[in-house]
Amino acid sequence: MKTKGMTDAQFLDLLQKVLPEATPNSDVAQAVFDRVAKEVRLMNSVKSFEKYCTVGSLPDLEPATVDQFREQLAGNFGAENVVVKPTEDGKSVAIEIALPDRTITNKIKVVPPGSEPEEEAKVPFVPFPVALPEDPELLWVFGRREDFPPEQAAIALAGIEEEFWETKAGQKLQRDRVEKSFAEFVQRVPAAALADHGLKRHYKMPEPLKVYRRLSAAESDQRHAKAEAKAEAKAKDE
């Protein structure tokens, strides 16, 4: 069974617990913990910085804007380690950050307010239940784009399955004596292969079809009688 990895906080808590057991010198243990904690914070700061350079932007190149951005980086990496300089074309800002073991460089775009490109409206996904001819009461629930007709989605799914077993991964599974079945395909097909065709996997395991049964008149009357009796008993207690 797969489990999620530890968070940074959980890792540091564990480290703080085991270090005193690994060394009797409390000063050494604290020094090691402080150094590791500092490195974890630095790694997270670098990750956040790189993500911001990818999805973020500055509204202009006014000195106050650039200085404020520089101060934000200085708070994470130290003012002496950060160099921020607008590019010659005025379309971005170049950043250089000196780390203990390397220097990282990147750029962040300048996007004036009102000039942001309009985001393409995302088409929602809707449930796409699939049943095999040999077991029509067992449903495999996928998702399909709302603008993707069920008939086309079914054709696409069949094609994806056929292509999957012809890939290197699919061929290896067959050599390893994995059954070439729809169930194995659903569990192992890459999500990207489905997404490229407007599909996605909601559940890896199938769900049995639930048959809706209406209550008979006698059953309905019995339920109403029980509900009324319960309501009367509650009213008396109050």
Q: pLDDT per residue over 88-146, tens digit each?
A: 888 899 999 998 888 989 999 998 887 666 655 688 999 999 999 888 888 899 999 99
To 5 degrees, how large is the angle CA 38–CA 44–CA 50?
Answer: 135
- Mean pLDDT score across all residues of the chain: 85
Q: What is the pTM of this model?
A: 0.44
Same domain, 103 and 141: no
What pLDDT sits at residue 33? 85
Is the per-residue pLDDT at 57 higher than 80? yes
Is the per-residue pLDDT at 3 higher than 70? no
- Contact assessment for residue 213 and residue 171, using Cβ atoms and an 8 Å cutoff: no
42 in a structural domain: yes
pLDDT, tens only, 206-237: 878 777 777 788 877 787 788 888 877 777 77
What pLDDT sits at residue 201? 87
Same domain, 103 and 158: no
Domain around 52:
8-110
* Number of structural domains found in the chain: 2
- The neighbour count for residue 157, using CB atoms within 10 Å, is 22
Same domain, 55 and 94: yes
119 in a structural domain: no
Among 97, 98, 105, 113, residue whose Cα is nearest residue 65 = 113
What pLDDT sits at residue 217? 80
Among 172, 195, 192, 170, residue whose Cα is nearest residue 181 = 170
Same domain, 149 and 191: yes
Same domain, 152 and 190: yes
pLDDT, tens only, 158-178: 999 999 999 988 898 999 999
Same domain, 99 and 146: no
What pLDDT sits at residue 169? 86
Neighbouring residues of 124: CB distance < 8 A, sequence distance ≥ 6: 145, 146
173 in a structural domain: yes
